[in-house]
Structure 1
């Protein structure tokens, strides 16, 4: 699964990004998140991460900004104006596709489309969650078929 989160960090910066949930579970202790002691937030080592300084007018959420800009920047820091993205052991980030930001599953090679106006792709589901803890949360479940 890939989790999209958009919210404000402790410094008041708007942060959004896509988290490879399986990879994070293997590399990080999730007990503080599950117990409510800590909030799950995207970081620079996740699939994609975007920070918006509080003094700068925030652009559209990362999941829809490609509709206005022609594509999504996987990571964009407004202070340094640097854009980056990170693939994970499970997903390759495709950030230069004309259709916007995509993730390619490394095991079955199928594409996960995060554009809210398009289907999520074969063997994938998109679930928008209402949350009092975050501005915006979307879970993309990608099912890998085994033979």
Structure 2
């Protein structure tokens, strides 16, 4: 099952996709946000159908202290609308500093600044999705721990 990762911003939505086995995340594209929600949701529904997506992971931009600020509230509103527009599970993952990490990685690769601006959001979405996939894989690999007798 493929999983979609989203980095939702005010002007763009970074999109990443997993492989069929759910092991690796790949930057896919950046959707330029439109006025209102209709076009954003249509673009995502089209992508979900075309790629046969089974789950979505949305990055939640919490503040460094873990509190929800204005941007997190906007992402929560986006998720509420997304839930009404798609019929697949949606999970949320703390995405503090993923855009900063994506920016550092692209600088390290000496990516042209204009190109960097085009791909930063999709790369941030890829980091969000890869974190989710790694955590999920680690949970599956944990040994069974029986409860201790009382």
Report the TM-score when normalising by structure 1.
0.31
Larger fraction in strand: 1
Larger fraction in helix: 2
Higher relative contact order (CA 8 A, sep 6+): 2
Report the TM-score when normalising by structure 2.
0.31
